[in-house]
Structure 1
């Protein structure tokens, strides 16, 4: 299944000129050259009238390049802007992981906790599956997005419990911790753990603990947006060009992929999560 939405991309450039450069100086010229070198291969990749991308490049807190390419809505002929809100897809997972680590730091859970602490009736087939296994895609649990019939049912609104019931009885793919396999089910379970431990909905916890403190005003669980910024629509390849993407209930990607954001907010996130300088 290939779903193409306009892509939201944040890049932190770690090379180039000093962060502050007066116009016309060699440093400013170097920054302009860096921006041009990044822009050059991106521009021809996104064709006029087709789904596009937004890009931001930041070095030492200074924006080097902030630009939109292509369309936010190809059928409606609406161009992207750098302010356009887009689905993040699996970039959502890093926010889910951070929320889990915040709860662990507060002593409300341990990465070594067996998931049966949170889901007492979860059939682990006699194996110990930990929070860390969920975080690192090493649980062996089958990914619900790879199951037969998933695409046919992805428009249905589902409760968290019903979604978990849909995959929890599947046999494990491998012994927990013995292998790595990218897994949306693990991150769905992590979202449910966040809700159980914090006593808040997943969307509210992320908003209050991550997005609002960092000034990420356009980042939210889709359907829980706080701002009114324009949104990009999804696209999928068609015989001639692109067609609107099939509908997807955002109750299904949940903590594995339901967030929306902008490149400006992702740059704020990148700056906040970068290691402190020594």
Structure 2
């Protein structure tokens, strides 16, 4: 199965059907581990600067039987994109770069067609640069899913330089004009790291350590291979075709770089979350508060400074997940409640890590619980039919129905867009859906759906309708 990013799922896959709200966090975590054969998990819930829940489960290494603790490290994947943005903002506030500079100012050997791409485009995933993990030249399928790497895959994982990776990126096509729509792009975040190095004159990992980890006392957060060499990194695992768990390889910094090559401990993530709650991130010292972000344009997803952004019944929510060949992670922050959760697991790309995080948060704040009762109004049924037709179009590779906004249509019809949705539905395409919730959000309206696959598995999504009555966003929560 191709990995399109370091675990970004556009739909959340829920296992166990309609989980009971009466289940405690401990019960939810144990069920999650049993269902997915997950060896080890760390979970923490933090409100303000107090830890409401913190517990490590299972084992760090199946062979050695060593336990997971709050000081053992796991690969973080794409959650660490926010670390990259902190470094870029640091350089911005030092007047060493401008977010609206063309990236060719710092990458002069880049193709001329990239001259219209800005640093801000890279940070918001609006550059148009196609995802490199979907390009077979980069051997992602072998790296994420093979016990034995051939010579080419081993070269990409262990020997290729970051400069060579960037030169290969230069041949990736632009799927749309920068800013016209949105599409998740790991190459964009990889390029941000190279820009950071060229502007600062420092190694990217040293730069982030100086800017972020030292001030926040995140001493165990390191590049994946360094954490492994120091004995801190847990063994990661992936599920083989025979349904057994196989040990994974370390996702090296030359392959993932500033798009997601950090390993961290549960304790370090608690420190990071507290800094978010207390507004003591380095960027907070400059007076800009990303927590008050209000997008001017409705693109298929709202992404700002390494975090997805949404709203749920008056609550502003920032979130991200991450995944590497042997690890999965999920982070959610609810601004109004000043509450966050971090979940780390040493099992590759296990989609139910996101609903686990949501369900644990709902235990502490019932207003976050996803509804179950079906709504049967005219508008609800109208959008149920639209969602059904979209799923069929993905499954059968047919044109999408009318009623999509132009930015969303551009994403859905792109090669990356169709491929990602087929990846999301790899467990099967749902044949029905039902609306369970609606909400007015400014000039838009949200419709939330459950899409059951069978008695044990369901997908969930939110459809955002803009003021032109167009479907403008499809969100996985």
Please classify the TM superposition score into its range, dividing by the shorter chain length.
Answer: 0.7 to 0.9
Separation of aligned partners in 1, 2:169 and 2:54: 41
Secondary structure of 2:116 counterpart? coil
Identify the residue that residue 255 of structure 1 maps to in structure 2.
258
Q: Report if the CA contact (8 A) 1:93-1:256 is conserved.
A: yes
Which of these residues, 158, 178, 182, is aligned with residue 180 of structure 1?
A: 182
Identify the residue that residue 244 of structure 1 maps to in structure 2.
247
Which of these residues, 106, 121, 143, is aligned with residue 118 of structure 1?
A: 106
Per-residue CA deviation, residues 136-190 of structure 1 (Å, 9 max, x unaligned), is: 1110112222211322424232222100011112221111111111111000000
> Aligned in 2, Cα 1:2/1:275: closer, same or farther, shift over 3 Å?
farther
Separation of aligned partners in 2, 1:136 and 1:143: 14
Identify unmatched segments of 5+ residues in structure 1: 8-35
The equivalences for 1:217-236 within 5 A come to 217-225=219-227, 228=230, 230-236=232-238
Per-residue CA deviation, residues 227-260 of structure 1 (Å, 9 max, x unaligned), is: 9563211111021420112454331100001101
Identify the residue that residue 34 of structure 2 maps to in structure 1.
47
Q: Report if the CA contact (8 A) 1:203-1:224 is conserved.
A: no
Identify the residue that residue 158 of structure 2 maps to in structure 1.
156
Identify the residue that residue 202 of structure 1 maps to in structure 2.
204
Per-residue CA deviation, residues 7-41 of structure 1 (Å, 9 max, x unaligned), is: 9xxxxxxxxxxxxxxxxxxxxxxxxxxxx832231
Under a length normalisation based on structure 2, what TM-score does the superposition of the two structures give?
0.48
Separation of aligned partners in 2, 1:149 and 1:126: 21
Under a length normalisation based on structure 1, what TM-score does the superposition of the two structures give?
0.80
Query: Which structure dedicates a bigger proportion of its chain to strand?
Result: 2
How far is the alpha carbon of 1:200 from its aligned partner?
Answer: 0.4
How far is the alpha carbon of 1:75 from its aligned partner?
Answer: 3.6
Identify the residue that residue 466 of structure 2 maps to in structure 1.
none
Q: Which moved more, 1:139-148 or 1:110-119?
A: 139-148
Identify the residue that residue 59 of structure 1 maps to in structure 2.
47
> Aligned in 2, Cα 1:210/1:227: closer, same or farther, shift over 3 Å?
farther
How far is the alpha carbon of 1:211 from its aligned partner?
Answer: 0.5
Separation of aligned partners in 2, 1:187 and 1:115: 12
Identify the residue that residue 129 of structure 1 maps to in structure 2.
117
Identify the residue that residue 97 of structure 1 maps to in structure 2.
85
Q: Are residues 1:109 and 2:105 paired?
A: no
Q: Are residues 1:274 and 2:261 paired?
A: no
Secondary structure of 2:108 counterpart? coil
Separation of aligned partners in 1, 2:250 and 2:207: 26
Number of residues of Structure 1 aligned to a counterpart in Structure 2: 246
Q: Report if the CA contact (8 A) 2:56-2:68 is conserved.
A: yes
Cα RMSD (Å): 2.6
> Aligned in 2, Cα 1:73/1:225: closer, same or farther, shift over 3 Å?
closer
> Aligned in 2, Cα 1:207/1:59: closer, same or farther, shift over 3 Å?
same
